[in-house]
Structure 1
Amino acid sequence: MTTIQCFFLGTPQFTKDDHALKLTKAKGIALLVYLAVERTTQTREQVMTLLWPDSLPQAARKNLRNTLWDIGKTFDEDVVEVDGDSLRLAESVWVDIHPFEDTSPAADSSQVSRLEEVVPLYRAPLADGLSLLDAPDFELWLTTQQQRLDRHYLRLLDALITVHRAAANWQKVINYAQQALIYDNLQEPMHQALMEAHARLGERAQAVRQYDNLRAILAQELGVVPLPETESLRTAILNGHIQASPMSITAAAPRPVKKAASASSPFVGRRTERAVMDEALQLAATGQARIVLLTGELGIGKTRLWQQWSATLPETLTTLETRCLDNTQSLPFAPLTRLFSQATCTQRLSQASTAISATWLAELSRLLPEIKELRPDLPEPADLPPEEERGRLLEAFIQVLRALNGHTTVLFIDDLHWADQATLDWLVYLIDRLRNESLLVVATYRVADAPAQLVHTVATWKREGQVHHLPLERLTLIEATELITALGGDVALIEQLYTKSAGNPYFLIELNRAGSEDTPSALADLIQTRLDRLSGATQQVVQAAAILESDIDFETLRRTSGRGEEETLNALDELLEATVLIEGQGVYEFSHPLVGAVVRDGLSTARRQFLHRRAAEALETAFSSNLPAVAGRIAAHYTAANLPGLAAQYAKMAGDHAMGLVAFTEAVTFYRQAYDLDPTPTRQMDLAEALFLLPGALDEARVTLQQALNSFEANGDRPNIVKACLMMAFSYLPSGEGDKIIEWVERALPHLEYITDPAAEARAHFFLGAGGFRIGRSMKEAEEHLAEGLRLAVEHQLSEAAMNGWFELGNLNLQRGDFAKAREAFQQSLVLAQTGQNIYQEAICHNNLAYTALLAGDLDQAHTHIENGLAFADKHALMLPRQYLYSTRGEIALAEENLDKADQWFRQAIIEAEKFDNPIHAANIRANLALVARRRGDLDEALTLLTQAQKVVARVSNPHLQTQIDLWLAELHLQRGEQAVAKQALARAEARLAGANRRGLQAWAKQVRASI
């Protein structure tokens, strides 16, 4: 039987029946490494995205086929099993990674032979020397896997050292400790093991030299000195007092961290504030959503007040807590991720998941992948327009919150001044959406640090009378005396302590803790004095904690500090005992933010950069299966570590993640960061794409994209020239500026001739068609472009492009007045939407089919389609299409002379249109409301509404709607007896219709002319 072996732990090597094989192409090696490490079946799409990210789909598929053929030719056997769209490494292939990583690093004497068998498999880091500069995501994946396997190798060596040390096999201790230091020379326990082993073998000079090496390495790399234990070991060796029996070493399994004594301080004062909070809760319980804002300076006791008050709440209430952090304020929905990731919340979510619609859970899984573990049956989130996606994600949080609550929900958000924009937007949505429900939001923030958006939001809440604002004052002397007495402090020092603290509770507690001898006058100096009392190893661990800052788990802290498990556990014991850190639900945080700030401020530049690099690497390891969720944090660490290349890659990943969460403010922040770190035109185009989606940033988006385009043109980068030009053309589509659309497409056309990109070519034709008929150009020419785009879409199986093409063709025929062709086109688009499960397009197709039937005079069909559309939107919780569905429903009611119903539907439609900032459609709806007013005989109201609509559409190029409004105005002025003004309105309409192929509008204009 043929034996194929793949050796990836080091420079990749391949053998078949012990004969060496040579696979020369890097992508082929990369594919085999990826399949070997992942072990599970991978889709072609996953592999193509990883290895050929910049290639067009057709080119990527061809590259993958060629790579698989090259692998098969090299091995003369099916090393990679292909099953339809799936790829996996054949089970018959032996891979060195598998026995290596399947071996447990337990320090067990019965496993020595197994350990000594697999350790030599590790020749060097995974796929050493392999590099794919054109596949950055693969590079990140490979780096993460290399680090993971490096650590496993070190754990295996540590287990061998532990066993041989216990058995006094000192030469083997030396051998394995030296191997460990080759990969990480900062492991002080390994240096200690070498020192002891040399001393046990009578090599005292070598033992001392090992100490000198360690001291030099620590000084150069970390700027620290060896630990006291190492110094003691050196002294014992020099004095000849080394113990006769081997030193014990703790096994790798971590022991539990000793719990610190309660850090809770006595609570004094704040009676008025607690009474106001009680009152707010009572109002919330009656179905009036309330907000309590606790503000004040650092250390004033905002969080402490919440803790004291919430401890008295009855268990029947649902109390949820989260906080915002300085280092996550650019991560979208960071506090909500923190909230819903908590064990208690996840448990509640698991219990309530069956009561929550799969639609909302699927949306939430964008942010919380662990939801898929609770509900693996969930569908993928729907592919929707950005505005719809954003609304659904905001609503998803609301729905889950409702499913978790009892009678009244109390939500606490600490340090709201550090909230990201997406979270603030959700909070505004929450308060508005649940204004008549039993909800109390309590938030703390520092007014001096509040961003403009938070200031404006609070001002709005205050105007609406929903806020109870409680600025916390400093303690009075009487309250300070009560606090110091409760702490068991010296009563004689109360006035001195009060003067120094100025009544700040946290400062007062720290002063009391420090005692009376040589007490610093500044709070930061006071904290530094307490930190200086910590042992050397503990100071290094707390420095790592200060760099990590948030959600500090044991493994990430250990990796960042560079200390072993035992050392890190001992340090945590000391930090908890000293109340520098506090523990909760498996993570650690500083007892007060100021403590972490003092630690960071005390670090040298070199030490800070080093720790930031280690923090980034630790997070890469901890979140290797979900890097996008922490990419923003990793980018920040690599930036602080002065590694701009890696920082830019992660900033780009964070921007992509934010775009997936429709958090455009955060996406812009990350894409801008990536561009600043690595200023390439591609990164600039990423930034422009996000800016286009950010309200109010249209001009900046176009300037940014123009700059990127200039660079692409200078570099002769035709594919990106085309992409940028079409992106610019698309930016003019919502405003109907057809001349600009056509101008930008025509700029792309010469470059399209030199590249093979049918999707871009189809898009160009669609834009030319859509732009043309929007500005009144020849309908025939526009139709030809749309037809050519459709031909390309069908030929190249571009189903989404075909769906959009048919829809645009339907709109063209609708404006032309050819209702039969319009109906056929919309029906084709509907079928493709249903096939592709595009729920937004399906709802819009129902709307346009209803509108077509209405114009054709088939009210029964109009009712059928509009009811189908409304029911479909309700079923799938779609929000964006409602503005169109409601207005069409209103027009049907108007055609039936049901004026009250028409008025009701139109007013609902305006609310939806304004919610999604769609002034053109809102103007169209107002024009229809004018028709309702006219039918009721209120001609003044009709004129006001039509004039408002006319002013809005005059700002854009939309000849069809402008002509409709002018014809309505002409009819209205005739009814009012205003002949001259009616003629002016009709003349404007006729001028637009001259030479146009818009049969319906032209027939209408003739009727009005006949009336005049």
Structure 2
Amino acid sequence: MDTEIDILGPMAVRRAGTVYHLQSAQARVALARLVLAGPEGVTREELADVIWPGALPPTWASALRTLVSRLRAFLAPMQTESANPVVKRGGRYVLALGQDTLVDVEDATRAVAAAHDALDAGNMTAATRLATRAADRLRSPFLSEHDGDWVAGWRERLSEHLVTALEIAARAAMGAGDHRRAALLAEEATDRAPARESAHRCLIAVREAMGNRGEALRAYQRLRRYLAEELGTDPSPATEAAFLALLGPSSPSGPPGRTPAARHRPAPFTGRRREMTALAGAWARAARGRRQFVLVTGETGIGKTRLLREAGATVAAEGGLLLVGRCDQDAVTPYQPLVEALDGYVAAAPDDVLAAVTPAFRGPLRLLLPSLGGPCPPAALPEQPILFAALTQLLRAAASERPCAVLIDDAHWADPQTVMLLRHLLRTTAGTRLCIVIAARNDLPVPDRQRAWAGLDEAMLPFEHVGEATEITVGGLDLAATTALVDELGITTAAGSPAHGPADNSAHRAHTRSGGNPFMLLEMLRHRAGPDAVPPAVARLVAAKQAAIGQDAGRLLQVAAVTGPSVAFDTMAGAAGLDVLAALDALESLLRTGILTEVTAAGSRHPDRPALYAFRHDVVRQAVGEQVSAARRRHVTSLQHRVPGTGHQLSRTGGERP
């Protein structure tokens, strides 16, 4: 019949439905010491030190013998056989437990390990059940009426197990889509272990998964401040990476069935030596006191955010102050990216950072920064010149401590006021150890681009001439970087062979069809149908682009997709039923957004022939074409035959066809 020994909480021994309790506190700690020693046992001195922490009584030897006799008498009725439950072997006391004896401490620690394995395997149900069971046990106090080094050591060890169980339960709840429960568990973990960075990273991940990036940033800043005040250290590289991962779009709350195991491994960073060299040069100049402005541009999915993250990791590793913000398309916070970046600095600073700010500017900062009580309604904010001066002075104070990098992602969504603030910062921070790096898409339709681009482009002009501004245009990965990416991720074909091996050249095919765009490239390589199919994520991206370009451009795009790899302007305009001016406007929109590009045959012998246009990415052409109905396809084809002079196209390789 099974025996259960509960050491956590009120100590008890259960057997055959009967519960037994030890009345003596000394007997309880002695039993716990013997149980947890296992088959190795303890010497009488070790047992005495636990029972009488500090100084031993003069008669401790005889008192210990009496106490062991009482334990034998207490445990004897619970033994299956009449064997002595506490034996002495080689001068050590050993508690002889039956194989069917269940000890709550051991059961809880085994459950934590099993929960960790279940989480790694993507079994959220098992991970939740095991971690919850372990946490429920481990929350109970351990020998609360006793002290001493051994007891304190075990309390610390069990506390570590409890926090691990809470982290696992939180991540399992997040994987199952129960974000509210995940947040409660992660918050309990950080409360119990305020210096444990993995618990804070768990809370950051939960808040970000809930779409609350502001709370995720504040969780990071609380940890950063605690480490600075209590331990005098900075967050670890893993925590800084979690912080940098908050750049870019917030993670949507995925469906309940989506688990960490179902997500892809993070792609390694490769093929960006030129861009990283340019960023490193700007940072080095800024660290020497020569303020820098870097504008990083590129199409959707090209890797701008990843580039910012890697640059941020370098800044953090070199001891720089890293401030991060992002623009949202529908931001409700005035000057959102700069407020986020500076609020993070204020929240994490161990001292009163406003002491370095002119008293007249402290009030406006308290109205604007969440960590100081803001933000208040925009109508209640001071006038713009006062706010600009206050934020500038705070940023200069931050950069006076150590070189500072401000990373701002998705700047294409910046509102005019934010652009004005950025321009003001650039004009008023000369001689500051400051590097402002801004990432923005260059494939947006004209109305969206006009919101920010005119101001950002104009802001760069006076600084480019003096070497204080750099624009980095991020292009597609080359084939070598693509191959390296495939190797590091271990991507194989359905047959199990390498994706770039002699038996299958999927990597080359995906690279050609994606133009080296990392997002499209990886989606194609990971798609079950292979690189010749359109992955669902790519199809959604293309649909979003189509929805933003307008009706005329959409018609032109459908004609181009149906016609083939390349097409002349007259062919597109005629088949789309557009007059020349409307078709030109639509074509220019498609060229500006990077969906189409003008192609020219190398060494053409016919310069009088009209220019030809092709999709920048063949997979985008396929995605558009798959959305064209059969009726429209027949209609476009019939119209093409009526348009004169359209028998001229380029081959897929770019060579001219007669």
Q: TM-score, normalised by structure 2?
A: 0.37
Q: Which has the higher helix share?
A: 1
Q: TM-score, normalised by structure 1?
A: 0.25
Structure with larger Rg: 1
Q: Which has the higher strand share?
A: 2
